[in-house]
Amino acid sequence: MYKKHIHFSTPGVVIFLLSLTMFVAACQKTSRIEPKLQIQQLFNGQNLEGWYTFLVSKGLDNDPDSIFSVIDGQIRILGTENGYICTKNEFENFKLTVEFRYGDVSTLPENKKPNSGILYHFPADSSDRTWPHAVECQLMSTCVGDYILMGPAMMINGVQGNAQNRVFAKSQDAEKPIGEWNTVQVVAIGDSSAHIVNGVTVNSGTDCSVTKGKILIQSEGAELFIRKIEIEPLTVNE
Protein backbone atom coordinates (compact mmCIF):
# COMPACT_ATOMS: atom_id res chain seq x y z
CA MET A 1 0.00 0.00 0.00
CA TYR A 2 1.34 3.43 -0.94
CA LYS A 3 1.41 6.37 1.43
CA LYS A 4 0.97 10.06 0.91
CA HIS A 5 1.02 12.75 3.60
CA ILE A 6 -1.23 15.66 2.74
CA HIS A 7 -1.10 18.99 4.58
CA PHE A 8 -3.91 21.52 4.32
CA SER A 9 -3.49 25.20 5.12
CA THR A 10 -6.96 26.08 6.44
CA PRO A 11 -8.71 24.69 9.56
CA GLY A 12 -11.80 23.63 7.63
CA VAL A 13 -9.80 21.50 5.24
CA VAL A 14 -7.66 20.11 8.08
CA ILE A 15 -10.86 18.77 9.65
CA PHE A 16 -11.83 17.42 6.25
CA LEU A 17 -8.49 15.60 6.05
CA LEU A 18 -9.29 13.58 9.14
CA SER A 19 -12.06 11.79 7.24
CA LEU A 20 -9.71 10.72 4.43
CA THR A 21 -7.80 7.90 6.15
CA MET A 22 -8.26 5.46 3.28
CA PHE A 23 -7.41 8.10 0.72
CA VAL A 24 -4.19 9.17 2.46
CA ALA A 25 -3.04 5.56 2.90
CA ALA A 26 -3.58 4.84 -0.79
CA CYS A 27 -1.47 7.67 -2.20
CA GLN A 28 2.15 7.83 -3.21
CA LYS A 29 3.87 11.21 -2.82
CA THR A 30 4.25 13.94 -0.23
CA SER A 31 2.39 17.09 -1.30
CA ARG A 32 1.16 20.32 0.16
CA ILE A 33 -2.42 21.05 -0.84
CA GLU A 34 -4.00 24.43 -0.29
CA PRO A 35 -6.98 26.38 -1.61
CA LYS A 36 -6.11 27.92 -4.97
CA LEU A 37 -9.06 30.21 -5.61
CA GLN A 38 -12.34 31.10 -3.98
CA ILE A 39 -15.14 28.57 -4.22
CA GLN A 40 -16.86 28.80 -7.59
CA GLN A 41 -20.59 28.25 -8.01
CA LEU A 42 -21.01 26.08 -11.10
CA PHE A 43 -24.81 26.45 -10.88
CA ASN A 44 -26.10 30.02 -10.60
CA GLY A 45 -29.63 29.08 -9.51
CA GLN A 46 -31.22 30.64 -12.60
CA ASN A 47 -30.13 28.80 -15.73
CA LEU A 48 -27.56 26.40 -17.16
CA GLU A 49 -25.00 29.05 -18.06
CA GLY A 50 -21.56 27.42 -18.27
CA TRP A 51 -23.05 24.04 -19.19
CA TYR A 52 -24.12 22.32 -22.39
CA THR A 53 -26.62 19.49 -22.80
CA PHE A 54 -26.19 16.16 -24.52
CA LEU A 55 -28.94 13.65 -25.29
CA VAL A 56 -28.09 10.33 -26.88
CA SER A 57 -31.01 10.61 -29.32
CA LYS A 58 -30.57 14.30 -30.21
CA GLY A 59 -26.94 15.31 -29.70
CA LEU A 60 -25.60 18.58 -28.32
CA ASP A 61 -27.76 21.43 -27.04
CA ASN A 62 -30.93 20.00 -28.58
CA ASP A 63 -33.50 19.49 -25.82
CA PRO A 64 -37.00 20.16 -27.19
CA ASP A 65 -38.70 18.22 -24.38
CA SER A 66 -36.88 20.08 -21.58
CA ILE A 67 -35.20 17.02 -20.13
CA PHE A 68 -32.98 19.59 -18.42
CA SER A 69 -34.50 22.71 -16.86
CA VAL A 70 -34.21 25.09 -13.91
CA ILE A 71 -37.25 25.37 -11.65
CA ASP A 72 -37.44 27.26 -8.35
CA GLY A 73 -33.67 27.63 -8.16
CA GLN A 74 -33.02 23.93 -8.77
CA ILE A 75 -31.85 21.96 -11.78
CA ARG A 76 -34.49 19.42 -12.77
CA ILE A 77 -33.39 16.39 -14.80
CA LEU A 78 -36.32 14.28 -15.97
CA GLY A 79 -34.29 11.16 -16.67
CA THR A 80 -36.64 10.09 -19.47
CA GLU A 81 -33.80 10.10 -22.00
CA ASN A 82 -30.17 9.16 -21.48
CA GLY A 83 -27.76 12.07 -21.60
CA TYR A 84 -26.20 14.70 -19.36
CA ILE A 85 -25.39 18.29 -18.63
CA CYS A 86 -21.67 19.01 -18.93
CA THR A 87 -19.45 21.91 -17.97
CA LYS A 88 -17.84 23.82 -20.81
CA ASN A 89 -14.64 24.15 -18.79
CA GLU A 90 -12.17 21.53 -17.60
CA PHE A 91 -11.05 21.17 -13.97
CA GLU A 92 -8.24 19.45 -12.08
CA ASN A 93 -7.22 19.36 -8.39
CA PHE A 94 -10.52 20.31 -6.79
CA LYS A 95 -13.14 19.65 -4.18
CA LEU A 96 -16.55 19.37 -5.86
CA THR A 97 -19.78 19.57 -3.84
CA VAL A 98 -23.17 18.54 -5.24
CA GLU A 99 -26.47 18.53 -3.34
CA PHE A 100 -29.12 16.32 -4.97
CA ARG A 101 -32.31 14.40 -4.34
CA TYR A 102 -34.52 12.14 -6.42
CA GLY A 103 -38.03 13.29 -7.33
CA ASP A 104 -41.01 11.19 -8.32
CA VAL A 105 -39.95 7.56 -8.64
CA SER A 106 -43.46 6.10 -8.60
CA THR A 107 -43.38 5.27 -12.30
CA LEU A 108 -40.18 3.24 -12.12
CA PRO A 109 -40.47 -0.55 -12.41
CA GLU A 110 -40.46 -2.25 -9.02
CA ASN A 111 -36.96 -3.68 -9.45
CA LYS A 112 -35.40 -0.51 -10.94
CA LYS A 113 -33.48 1.91 -8.72
CA PRO A 114 -33.43 5.66 -9.43
CA ASN A 115 -30.14 6.33 -11.12
CA SER A 116 -27.76 9.12 -12.08
CA GLY A 117 -24.09 9.93 -11.65
CA ILE A 118 -21.45 12.64 -11.38
CA LEU A 119 -18.73 12.11 -13.98
CA TYR A 120 -15.43 13.97 -13.77
CA HIS A 121 -12.07 14.04 -15.59
CA PHE A 122 -13.91 13.92 -18.94
CA PRO A 123 -11.13 15.10 -21.32
CA ALA A 124 -12.00 17.98 -23.63
CA ASP A 125 -10.70 16.03 -26.64
CA SER A 126 -12.97 13.03 -25.93
CA SER A 127 -16.28 12.49 -27.72
CA ASP A 128 -19.70 13.11 -26.20
CA ARG A 129 -21.49 9.77 -26.07
CA THR A 130 -23.68 7.63 -23.83
CA TRP A 131 -20.79 6.58 -21.57
CA PRO A 132 -17.96 9.07 -22.14
CA HIS A 133 -14.33 8.57 -21.10
CA ALA A 134 -14.45 9.65 -17.45
CA VAL A 135 -14.56 8.62 -13.79
CA GLU A 136 -18.03 8.35 -12.23
CA CYS A 137 -19.14 8.94 -8.69
CA GLN A 138 -22.27 6.80 -8.74
CA LEU A 139 -25.56 8.36 -7.57
CA MET A 140 -27.77 5.29 -8.03
CA SER A 141 -29.92 4.69 -4.96
CA THR A 142 -28.14 2.33 -2.47
CA CYS A 143 -24.90 2.75 -4.46
CA VAL A 144 -24.04 6.42 -3.90
CA GLY A 145 -20.26 6.77 -3.83
CA ASP A 146 -19.34 3.74 -5.95
CA TYR A 147 -16.69 4.27 -8.62
CA ILE A 148 -17.52 3.43 -12.23
CA LEU A 149 -14.67 3.82 -14.71
CA MET A 150 -15.87 4.80 -18.18
CA GLY A 151 -14.12 4.05 -21.46
CA PRO A 152 -10.39 3.36 -21.04
CA ALA A 153 -10.17 4.99 -17.58
CA MET A 154 -8.16 2.97 -15.03
CA MET A 155 -7.60 3.32 -11.26
CA ILE A 156 -6.29 1.43 -8.25
CA ASN A 157 -8.95 0.68 -5.65
CA GLY A 158 -8.03 2.59 -2.47
CA VAL A 159 -9.69 -0.02 -0.25
CA GLN A 160 -8.46 -3.29 -1.75
CA GLY A 161 -5.36 -1.97 -3.53
CA ASN A 162 -6.09 -3.76 -6.81
CA ALA A 163 -6.24 -2.23 -10.29
CA GLN A 164 -9.71 -1.68 -11.72
CA ASN A 165 -11.06 -0.66 -15.09
CA ARG A 166 -14.78 -0.83 -14.36
CA VAL A 167 -16.43 -0.72 -10.90
CA PHE A 168 -15.48 -0.73 -7.25
CA ALA A 169 -18.09 -0.41 -4.56
CA LYS A 170 -18.19 1.99 -1.62
CA SER A 171 -16.88 0.74 1.71
CA GLN A 172 -19.95 1.83 3.69
CA ASP A 173 -23.42 3.31 3.27
CA ALA A 174 -24.00 6.98 4.12
CA GLU A 175 -26.80 8.03 1.77
CA LYS A 176 -30.25 9.21 2.85
CA PRO A 177 -33.61 7.72 1.81
CA ILE A 178 -35.00 8.46 -1.64
CA GLY A 179 -36.50 11.94 -1.74
CA GLU A 180 -34.17 13.45 0.88
CA TRP A 181 -31.27 15.74 0.06
CA ASN A 182 -27.79 14.22 -0.11
CA THR A 183 -24.46 16.04 -0.20
CA VAL A 184 -21.81 14.33 -2.32
CA GLN A 185 -18.24 15.58 -2.52
CA VAL A 186 -15.49 14.51 -4.88
CA VAL A 187 -11.93 15.43 -3.91
CA ALA A 188 -9.57 14.96 -6.85
CA ILE A 189 -5.85 15.54 -6.27
CA GLY A 190 -3.46 14.59 -9.06
CA ASP A 191 -4.17 10.96 -9.95
CA SER A 192 -6.02 10.27 -6.67
CA SER A 193 -9.59 10.95 -5.57
CA ALA A 194 -12.08 10.26 -2.80
CA HIS A 195 -15.89 10.17 -2.66
CA ILE A 196 -17.57 11.62 0.43
CA VAL A 197 -21.31 11.11 1.03
CA ASN A 198 -23.02 13.25 3.67
CA GLY A 199 -19.68 13.84 5.38
CA VAL A 200 -18.51 10.21 5.32
CA THR A 201 -15.60 9.07 3.12
CA VAL A 202 -17.02 5.97 1.43
CA ASN A 203 -14.52 5.31 -1.35
CA SER A 204 -11.10 6.25 -2.71
CA GLY A 205 -8.73 5.46 -5.53
CA THR A 206 -5.34 6.37 -6.91
CA ASP A 207 -3.18 6.01 -10.05
CA CYS A 208 -6.06 7.25 -12.20
CA SER A 209 -5.30 7.34 -15.91
CA VAL A 210 -7.20 10.64 -16.35
CA THR A 211 -6.56 13.63 -14.08
CA LYS A 212 -8.25 16.58 -15.77
CA GLY A 213 -11.48 17.21 -17.61
CA LYS A 214 -15.05 18.42 -17.70
CA ILE A 215 -17.73 17.54 -15.13
CA LEU A 216 -21.12 16.14 -16.06
CA ILE A 217 -24.31 14.98 -14.35
CA GLN A 218 -26.37 12.25 -15.97
CA SER A 219 -29.95 11.88 -17.03
CA GLU A 220 -30.48 8.16 -16.58
CA GLY A 221 -33.97 6.94 -15.84
CA ALA A 222 -35.18 8.98 -12.84
CA GLU A 223 -36.25 12.51 -11.97
CA LEU A 224 -33.39 14.28 -10.21
CA PHE A 225 -33.13 17.68 -8.54
CA ILE A 226 -29.89 19.55 -7.84
CA ARG A 227 -29.74 22.68 -5.70
CA LYS A 228 -25.99 23.21 -5.43
CA ILE A 229 -22.93 22.55 -7.56
CA GLU A 230 -19.77 24.25 -6.35
CA ILE A 231 -16.09 23.65 -6.84
CA GLU A 232 -13.04 24.65 -4.82
CA PRO A 233 -9.85 24.50 -6.88
CA LEU A 234 -6.77 23.27 -5.01
CA THR A 235 -3.09 23.85 -5.59
CA VAL A 236 -0.71 20.92 -5.22
CA ASN A 237 2.89 21.82 -4.38
CA GLU A 238 5.36 18.96 -4.45
Q: What is the pLDDT along the chain (238 residues), one digit of tens a residue?
A: 333 333 333 333 333 333 444 444 444 333 455 555 589 999 999 999 999 999 999 999 999 999 999 999 999 999 999 999 999 999 999 999 999 999 999 989 888 999 999 999 999 999 999 999 999 999 999 999 999 999 888 999 887 788 777 899 999 999 999 999 999 999 999 999 999 999 999 999 999 999 999 999 999 999 999 999 999 999 876 5
Give the residue from 225, 221, 217 showing the smallest Cα distance to 82: 221
Task: Tell me what pLDDT residue 33 has.
Answer: 54
> Bridge partners of 202?
none
Cα distance between residue 83 and residue 98, in whole Å: 18
In the chain, at which residue ranges do the beta strands (DSSP E only) sit?
6-8, 31-35, 40-41, 51-55, 59-60, 68-71, 74-77, 83-87, 94-102, 117-122, 135-138, 147-149, 155-157, 163-164, 167-168, 182-189, 192-197, 200-206, 214-219, 224-237
Which phi-psi region, left, alpha or beta, contains residue 142 (left: φ > 0; alpha: ψ -120 to 50)?
left
Q: How far is CA 154 from the centre of its chain?
A: 16
Read off the pTM.
0.85
* Rounded alpha-carbon distances, angstroms, from residue 139 to 34, 45, 120, 213: 28, 21, 13, 19
Q: How high is the pLDDT of residue 98?
A: 98
pLDDT of residue 38: 84
Q: Partners of 236 in the beta sheet?
A: 33
The helix/strand/coil state of 17 is: helix
CA dist., res. 228 & res. 55, Å (int): 22
Domains in the chain, CATH or no CATH each: 37-232 (2.60.120.560)
